[in-house]
Amino acid sequence: MKPVYFDSAATTKVRDEVINAMTTVMRNDYGNASSTHSFGRSSKVLIEQARKTIAKQLNVSAGEIVFTSGGTEADNLALQCAIRDLGVEHIITSKIEHHAVLHTIEQLEKTCGIQVSYVKLDADGQVDFNHLEELLETHGKTLVSLMYVNNEIGNILDVKRVSHLCQSNNALFHCDAVQCIGHYQLDLQDIHIDFLAASAHKFHGPKGVGFAFIRKNSGLKPLIFGGQQERGIRAGTEAVHDIVGLEKAFVMAYANLETESAYVLELKRHFIAELKLAFPDVRFNGMSGNLEKSTYTLINVCLPIPPEKALILLFQMDLKGIACSKGSACQSGSTKGSHVLSEILSEADLKKPSIRFSFSIYNTKDEIDYVISVLKEFVKA
C-alpha cells in the first residue's frame, strides 16, 4: 500500500496546475511589483488580477483584499489593529479557536489591558448563542472573534446569526475562515463580517501566502511597516508567484466546488460507516460525525482503545504509512494535547486516543478501507 495522506486539514497537496502557474511566473515575471518599468508593471498586473478574482468571488471590492503570509498574519492584523486603531476594549471569543487567535488575544489582554470573554459551548463545542447575546449587551466597544469551521472537530458556525448579533449590538466581527475558504461559498455582502482570514495551503495552494478581508473604511492601519505595498496596509515586496498560485488554487476550488465537495463528502460518509461497523463504541468528537453540521473535509474520532495502547497508536499509523493527526498540526509537538478536545471531552474520553482524519480529492475509498484494516489489526494485537 502506498503512503496514505489523511491530514489535509493541516495542509493540502498542491495542485499540478498551481505548480505550473507558479513556475511560469518565477521564470518570466520576476520584476518587483513596486518598480515602474515594464517588468514591475507586469508583476503588478498579476497581483491586481488575483485581487480582483478573489474579491469577485466573495462579492467585495478589490481594495478590501490584502495579501498576507497566511492565516496567522491575517488574524493578527485584524485583532491587534482593532485594539490599537479602533478603540476596541472587549473581545469575545471561544476556548476552541485556533491558537493564531487565542494566543494573540492572550497577548493583547496582557499588554493592552483589554477585557476578554469566552462564550459558553455545549458538549459538542457549539456556541451558546444566548450567552453570546448576553456578553454583547453588557460591555463597551466589542469585537467578536469566532472561526467559521473548527480545524479540529469540524463544527460549522452559524456565521449569519453571529453577524446579525454583532450588527444589532454595534460590535465588530472577525472570522478565521481558514478552513472555509475554498470549501464553501461565501458572500460577504449577504453576511456582514468585518475582518476575515484565509490561507492558500488549505485549498491546494502554496504555503506562505493568504489574504485578509478588511471591510472598507474600517480604519485599520498597518501591522507591518515599510513600503506602500498592499495599498499601505501590508508592507513588504509581494511574492508574485505565491499570489498567482493562491489565485489559481482559489479559482479551481470554486470552479470545481460542487463535484469535488460531493466526492469528498462521500469519502467522509464511507469512513463514518466503516468506523461504526468496525468499532460499535466509536465516538465522533464535536459535530464531526454529523454530515450537516460539520465540514465534509474531516472527522475527529475517539476510539475505544485502552490508555496504555493509546500512546502508541499515532506512531503505529505512521509506521503503516498513514498520515493523520491527534489534533492541529500547529501543536503536534506539544505534550499538552488538544486544547479543543480538553474543552469538550470528559476525563475518561481524554485518556482514549482521538484522531483527526481529514480528506481531499486526492483520497480514495480504498485508502479508507486500508486505514480501517490497520486500526482493526492494532486493536486486536
- The label of the residue with cell 498551481 reads 18
Distance from first CA to last CA of the chain, Å, rounded?
20
Q: Which has the closest alpha carbon to 249: 289, 284, 199, 212?
A: 199
Start-end of H helices in 3-98: 16-28, 38-58, 71-86
Q: Of residues 112, 166, 324, 330, which has the active-site annotation?
A: 330
Work out the number of other CB atoms within 10 angstroms of the CB of residue 115.
13
Q: Which amino acid is at 70?
A: G
Q: Which of 71, 72, 54, 73 is nearest to 63 (CA)?
A: 54
Nearest residue to 7 via CA among 327, 353, 288: 327
Return d(Cα 328, Cα 331) in angstroms, integer.
6
Q: What is the DSSP string of 252-263?
A: HHHHTHHHHHHH
Residue 171: CA atoms inside 13 Å, Cβ hemisphere, count?
A: 29
Phi and psi of 195, rounded to 5°? -140, 135
**Residue 330 appears among annotated catalytic residues:** yes
SS3 for 83? Answer: helix
Cα separation of 179 and 307, whole Å? Answer: 31
- Residues with a catalytic annotation lie at 330
